[in-house]
């Protein structure tokens, strides 16, 4: 993996975490209520200016750990080993009491515990869960489009089997791969690249509505309004992906502006900002992420340094080289999750109070 790809993969993983943490306090709030509760959005609103991450970052890290662990396995066996490993990580992740788990993901992990294998555990859903973990796949397997497609498919189907979910997850991986090139991507060139991989006319028409809107200079808010997301961006893949792409194509070089615009669209803000943060992070790298957003990320045991190490190992592991996986102590994770659950519950109660 060359230096540009290392820079991109580090920015992608850190960009996921920072976007996730910034969006978290706004998750599920409408555009209007969010502006009333947080008139200024220049830092974390979770805990006295400090931020914590959620399932979006955890799933990305667990998938990256699984890829590192089995990067030296040969051919088709590699994919099977990676997803068997990822499935075990998901099973134990559920035992660690994660706050705010998506319904399709919960049902799929219960199926995994019941004995279903990773390729049969998914449920029919077009939720945005798979899109939040697939960005780095585009950078990691970018030199081999068929492999990238197969990896995104497996990463999607472990929890979501609706083809819409796979189209969305692949679009994110492709966007991250193109952003990682370090050049500005025109809306037309992105659409053209996507058409080489996906031929579903409904999905392509939806993405064309994004690229046309960006080319015409329409604002992200007006575009979101036009696809029925005027109150907030829902967790449906066909709402999340068009809005993320619009914000990305409009703010490719400016992480701060991109993530702030994304969160201000309301709705599933932690996941939309995590996906967008991964794509823009792949372009700008760690240096392009505001330093105070990195230093105010109050995460443990998956600290900013830990995520950076994960990115380094991921970069070292490609292609097909052995690299030691990066572990976290499960007991530490359990303590962290109990603390996190208390914070999330406090935010839930806080929302019952004005301003409305
Ligand atoms: Mg989340």
| Spacing, Cα 56 to ligand 1 middle (Å) | 5
Structure tokens, 139: 């950078």
Residue 323 has pLDDT above 80, yes or no: no
In whole angstroms, how far apart are CA 163 and each of 128, 137, 197? Answer: 12, 18, 14
| Spacing, Cα 17 to ligand 1 middle (Å) | 10
| pLDDT tier, 321 (very low <50, low <70, confident <90, very high otherwise) | low
| Spacing, Cα 19 to ligand 1 middle (Å) | 10
| pLDDT tier, 322 (very low <50, low <70, confident <90, very high otherwise) | low
Average pLDDT rounded to a whole number, residues 343-354: 93
| Spacing, Cα 295 to ligand 1 middle (Å) | 20
| Spacing, Cα 55 to ligand 1 middle (Å) | 5
Structure tokens, 168: 């969305």
Average pLDDT rounded to a whole number, residues 35-53: 95
| Per-chain mean pLDDT for the chain | 95
Average pLDDT rounded to a whole number, residues 62-82: 90
- pLDDT-above-90 percentage for the chain: 90
pTM of the model: 0.97
Considering only CA atoms, which of 41, 15, 13 is closest in space to residue 29?
41
- Residue 99 has a pLDDT of 86
| Spacing, Cα 243 to ligand 1 middle (Å) | 17
Considering only CA atoms, which of 140, 143, 132 is closest in space to residue 82?
140
| pLDDT tier, 59 (very low <50, low <70, confident <90, very high otherwise) | very high
Per-residue pLDDT tens for 155-197? 999 999 999 999 999 999 999 999 999 999 999 999 999 999 9
Per-residue pLDDT tens for 187-200? 999 999 999 999 99
| Spacing, Cα 71 to ligand 1 middle (Å) | 27
| Spacing, Cα 13 to ligand 1 middle (Å) | 15
| Spacing, Cα 217 to ligand 1 middle (Å) | 30
| Spacing, Cα 216 to ligand 1 middle (Å) | 32
Residue 319 has pLDDT above 70, yes or no: no
- CATH number among 3.40.50.80, 1.25.40.10, 1.10.4080.10, 1.10.3720.10, domain 3-350: 1.10.4080.10
- pLDDT-above-70 percentage for the chain: 99
Least confident of 190-199, 205-214, 247-256, 330-339: 330-339
| pLDDT tier, 324 (very low <50, low <70, confident <90, very high otherwise) | confident
Average pLDDT rounded to a whole number, residues 85-109: 93
Per-residue pLDDT tens for 189-242? 999 999 999 999 999 999 999 999 999 999 999 999 999 999 999 999 999 999
| Spacing, Cα 61 to ligand 1 middle (Å) | 13
Residue 261 has pLDDT above 70, yes or no: yes
| Spacing, Cα 319 to ligand 1 middle (Å) | 30
If one counts every other C-beta atom within 10 angstroms of the C-beta of residue 309, the result is: 13
Question: What residue ranges do the domains of the chain occupy?
Answer: 3-350
Helical axes 269-284 vs 255-264, angle rounded to 10°: 160
Strands (E), 88-163: none
- Alpha carbon distance 264, 273 (integer Å): 10
| Spacing, Cα 1 to ligand 1 middle (Å) | 30
């Amino acid at each position: 993996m060359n230096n540009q790809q290392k820079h991109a993969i580090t920015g992608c993983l850190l960009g996921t975490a920072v976007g996730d943490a910034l969006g978290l306090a706004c998750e599920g709030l409408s555009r209007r209520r969010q502006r009333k509760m947080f008139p200024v959005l220049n830092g974390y609103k979770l805990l006295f200016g400090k931020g914590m991450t959620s399932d979006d970052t955890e799933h990305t890290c667990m998938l990256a750990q699984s890829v590192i662990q089995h990067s030296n396995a040969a051919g088709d066996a590699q994919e099977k080993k990676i997803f068997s490993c990822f499935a075990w990580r998901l099973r134990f992740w559920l035992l660690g009491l994660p706050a705010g788990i998506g319904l399709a993901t919960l049902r799929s992990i219960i199926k995994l515990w019941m004995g279903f294998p990773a390729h049969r555990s998914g449920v029919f859903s077009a939720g945005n869960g798979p899109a939040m973990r697939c960005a780095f796949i585009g950078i990691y397997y970018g030199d081999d489009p068929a492999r990238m497609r197969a990896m995104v498919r497996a990463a999607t189907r472990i929890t979501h089997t609706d083809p819409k979910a796979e189209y969305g997850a692949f679009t994110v991986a492709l966007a991250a791969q193109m952003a990682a090139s370090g050049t500005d991507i025109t809306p037309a060139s992105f659409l053209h690249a996507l058409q080489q991989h996906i031929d579903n006319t409904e999905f392509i028409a939806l993405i064309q509505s994004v690229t046309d809107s960006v080319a015409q200079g329409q604002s992200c808010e007006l575009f979101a309004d036009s696809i029925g997301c005027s109150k907030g961006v829902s967790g449906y893949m066909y709402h999340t992906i068009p809005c993320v792409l619009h914000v990305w194509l409009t703010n490719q070089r400016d992480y701060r502006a991109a993530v702030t615009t994304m969160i201000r669209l309301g709705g599933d803000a932690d996941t939309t900002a995590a996906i967008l943060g991964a794509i823009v992070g792949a372009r700008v790298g760690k240096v392009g992420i505001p330093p105070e957003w990195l230093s105010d990320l109050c995460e443990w045991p998956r600290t900013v340094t830990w995520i950076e190490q994960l990115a380094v190992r991921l970069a070292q592991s490609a292609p097909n080289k052995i690299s030691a996986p990066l572990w976290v102590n499960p007991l530490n994770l359990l303590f962290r999750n109990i603390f996190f659950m208390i914070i999330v519950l406090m935010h839930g109660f806080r929302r019952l109070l004005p301003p409305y």
